[in-house]
Chain A
Amino acid sequence: MSFPWAENYAPKHPFMKWMDEKLPLPRLVYNAVGAGYPVPRNLNYFWNFGVLAGVALTIQIITGIVLAMHYNTSADGAFMSVESIMRDVNGGWLLRYVHATGASMFFIVVYIHIFRGLYYGSYKAPREMVWLLGVVIFLLMMATAFMGYVLPWGQMSFWGAQVITGFFSAIPIVGDPIHTWLLGGFAPDNAALNRFFSLHYLLPFVIAGVIILHIWALHIPGSNNPTGVDVKGPQDTVPFHPYYTAKDGMGLGVFLIIFALFVFFAPNALGHPDNYIQANPLSTPAHIVPEWYFLPFYAILKSFTGNFLGIAAKLWGVMAMFGSILLLFFLPWIDSSPVRSANYRPAYRIAFFVLVLDVVALGYLGQAEPTAGVVMFSQLCAGYYFAHFLIILPIISAIEKTLPLPNSISESVLHGEAAEAAPIGMHSA
């Protein structure tokens, strides 16, 4: 894999030579994230977010393993045990706030990573498999985050679980038995809490495994770049180490500063106050909302209000919500334009920025009181979401007149055309 001019691993120390013969793990690392992996020289800061997502997962796993040592998986004891972590466990407040804030940080980083892929056409051939595995990771993350949010067994945990598992009862005929079977009861209780904990502990390791496949699949064609033009020769690339390890190190610092500001100075800003009330199956909160990173999908779910073609509104909502993510699996084939980067696709670029605004608007609408105006606006925004991927993209990719591409990465860089690499208005250093 990778390019013929990639640097070769040549161990010098006798121990490393011995190691290379018996178990070439250092060689693997060298070729994956060391000097042995040539990377386009023109990557901008949006290419930092893959590494940041990996760091975020690592932080979640480490803090999560320690939290699990102090957590009590029972409907009676879960809430109390989380509070005892906050009050009595040494450094427990730090562990829990890092873990809770870390979930949000993981999602924000992954959302930027996904939108970077959408803007620069990283999902297109030859990187379809990278994209497909990425969508799998995203789905696993959503499942993990949802089940993790249930564990403290606060009011939003309980009622969130009630609403989300309720989706399964929207399935015709077999919905209710499936719902009961999945929960191990008629409503979330001990059985549900225990299986959620078990899966919440398992899935991050599955995510880690799929990330390895994601990176493996990436290393076969090599990284995309802001021009979207293929690498033509050694002048187009630099070795990953030290060039991008240095750049990622700097990006990591900025990420950790923002992370720390939330953890230490606004640890509850991204959560909901109701989750500090112990779960009470007899008292429904005035307003059930999921965590912020699910809000756009929640808005899509709620925007389908009419029974249509003999399918109930609720089922339409559930199909649309899952569909809004599943359609990403087909994106590499829906968008058949041979040009990758939106910098050379004027029509797609407009549609892309409208999509960004649309998703932000859906996020706002997801938490708003469902007044008539909010529902109408959600219908409009949900409509654009589906139209963008399923209707506008196929049409644009057929009729768009794209701009002339640079001949090569190095030419674009040497001509000082940094502006053509960064998205509009965002210039890379």
Chain B
Amino acid sequence: MTRFLSILVGLGFLAALAWGFITSPHDASVETAAEVYHLQPKEVHFSFDGPFGKYDNEQLQRGFQVYKEVCSACHSMKLVAFRDLEGIGFSKPEVKAIAKQWPVEVPSINPDTGEAATRKALPSDYFPSPYANEVAARAANNNALPPDMSLLAKAREGGSHYIYSIVTGFQNQPADLIKRFPDSKTPTGLHYNPYFANLNIGMPPPLVADGQVTYADGKPATVDQMAQDVSAFLMWAAEPKLENRHRWGFVVVIYLLIATGLAYAAYRNIWRDQKH
């Protein structure tokens, strides 16, 4: 009886599947421009790649400079505080100065009247956002919303490699794309970038000329260099404990290997006189 019922129920599910199979449309879907022209992130090496990877503080400081002078005009970084910059090698007084000189002030109240006001940032403050709210951000950017950058390197497939590819990936739309997909011409206000999922990104090319930023450490600021530095900095912003994690991981795995070796020896020893 159980078997009979079981087979009956099984046939019911199979019939429902088969019906779906028969009735669903089987014609191949139409190719889109994004399927053909979208590219995977570029190959580029970062110092923090791999299990022994570490951040390069000089690079992170340069990347921070690119964020400060270029990206921060539109992109917020709400989860990172000025005090966190001590983690990339800035001293306490330097952090204090960076906070104080930050072009956007922190929302506050007037201590006498209680009216809304702003004040200079302190090391304990999080990076102030360039726009008061999402509506203001969209209004200033052709209705595109510049994403918050705190976790960007973890919130995109490919991480810092993806960011590097986007920043350096702007180009003219290929002529054969328009020939093949006449409807997929990049709309005005958007910018062709094959590393972006739908090929057309709202952000204009942020790094356009060598020397756009004058590095404090004297390193030549080529577009490629700036792109690498800012991508590395954003990885740090998203995962500040990465070095710690790699270091601990090394210790923990060595410890576990030794412990497991001992456990294996104990196992062999205990079972030595037992057939199994």
The docked-state distance in angstroms from the alpha carbon of A170 to that of B226 is 52
One digit per residue, 1 when the CB lies within 8 angstroms of any chain A CB and 0 when it does not, for chain B 1-45 equals 011001101110111111111111111110000000000000000
Residues of chain A contacted by B256 (CB below 8 angstroms): 253, 256-257, 260
A161 CB to nearest B CB, Å:
19
- A257–B257 CB distance below 8 A: yes
Within 8 Å of chain A (Cβ to Cβ): is B248?
yes
Residues of chain B contacted by A253 (CB below 8 angstroms): 256, 259-260, 263-264
A100 CB to nearest B CB, Å:
12
- B2–A263 CB distance below 8 A: no
Residue of A nearest to B145 (CB): A283
Supposing A398-B3, A414-B275 touch, asked if A264 and B263 sit within 8 A by C-beta, the answer is no
Neighbour of A277 across the interface among B15, B155, B259, CB < 8 A: B155
- One of A179-187, A199-207, A210-218, A328-336 at the interface: A328-336
- A306–B6 CB distance below 8 A: no
A395 CB to nearest B CB, Å:
8
Supposing A257-B260, A260-B256 touch, asked if A413 and B276 sit within 8 A by C-beta, the answer is yes
Residue of A nearest to B237 (CB): A87
Neighbour of A286 across the interface among B14, B197, B259, CB < 8 A: B197
Most chain A CB within a 10 A radius of its CB, from B157, B246, B276: B276
Neighbour of B20 across the interface among A246, A305, A334, A371, CB < 8 A: A305
Interface size on A (CB < 8 Å)?
Answer: 69
Interface residues on B, range: 35 or more
- One of A64-72, A120-128, A339-347, A382-390 at the interface: A382-390
Residue of B nearest to A372 (CB): B26
Within 8 Å of chain A (Cβ to Cβ): is B270?
yes
Residues of A120-160 contacting chain B, CB below 8 A: none
- A391–B241 CB distance below 8 A: no
Residues of A79-95 contacting chain B, CB below 8 A: 80, 83, 86-87, 93-94
Within 8 Å of chain A (Cβ to Cβ): is B185?
no
- A246–B270 CB distance below 8 A: yes
Within 8 Å of chain A (Cβ to Cβ): is B117?
no
Neighbour of A372 across the interface among B29, B154, B246, CB < 8 A: B29
Q: Which 4 A-B pairs have the closest CB atoms?
A: A264-B249, A390-B10, A253-B260, A306-B20
What are 30 A-B contacts defined by CB distance under 8 Å? A87-B79, A93-B244, A246-B267, A246-B270, A250-B260, A250-B263, A250-B267, A264-B252, A273-B157, A276-B154, A277-B147, A303-B17, A305-B23, A313-B20, A320-B16, A323-B13, A330-B6, A334-B2, A372-B24, A376-B21, A376-B24, A376-B26, A379-B17, A386-B10, A387-B10, A387-B14, A391-B10, A394-B2, A413-B275, A413-B276
User: Which A residues are within 8 Å of any B CB, using their own CB?
Assistant: 41-43, 80, 83, 86-87, 93-94, 97, 238, 242-243, 246-247, 249-250, 252-254, 256-257, 260-261, 263-265, 267-268, 273-274, 276-277, 286, 303-306, 308-309, 311, 313, 316, 320, 323, 327, 330, 333-334, 336, 371-372, 375-376, 379, 382-383, 386-387, 389-391, 393-395, 397-398, 413-414
